[in-house]
Amino acid sequence: MSDINELVERYLATWNQTDAEARRAELAEVFADDAVYTDPLVSVRGRDGLDATIAAVQSQFGGLVFSLAGAVDAHHDIARFTWHLGPEGAEPPAIGFDVAVIGEDGRIARVLGFLDKVPAGA
């Protein structure tokens, strides 16, 4: 379980990484080559698509950070977890949960994201 917890923490850290070069390096370590990310607003395949998605989210929500909002629930090679997006130590304007499928190589192969709370106009 600790390996999955660490992977989820690294996943969220990747969403918080604002240095493009460092983010791409982290994406290569955390995500499979052809990883798929799907949420209500976007569906992308591959690290380039995910990198562009993360950059767009950072542009829209500059200064906010993703954080784990509770325990990671996992079994087999599947993890689900709730996250907050907001200023550190304050009420998050966005809350969601993701389900991550971990591939045989230990990297994330697929993420299915759900949004529970979204700021007006987002």
> What is the per-residue pLDDT across 13-30, written as a single tens digit (0 to 9) for each?
999 999 999 999 999 999
Share of the chain above pLDDT 70, in %: 97
pTM, whole model, 2 decimals?
0.93
User: Could you give the C-alpha distances from 100 to 36, 79, 88, in angstroms and in order?
Assistant: 10, 5, 24
Q: Give the integer Cα–Cα distance in Å for 39 and 20.
A: 22
- Contact, 6 vs 83, CB < 8 A? no
* CA 69, chain centre distance (Å): 13
Residue 6: pLDDT over 80:
yes
Strands 42-45 and 31-39: antiparallel
- Contact, 79 vs 102, CB < 8 A? yes
Q: The dihedral of CA 40, 120, 50, 87: what is its sign?
A: negative
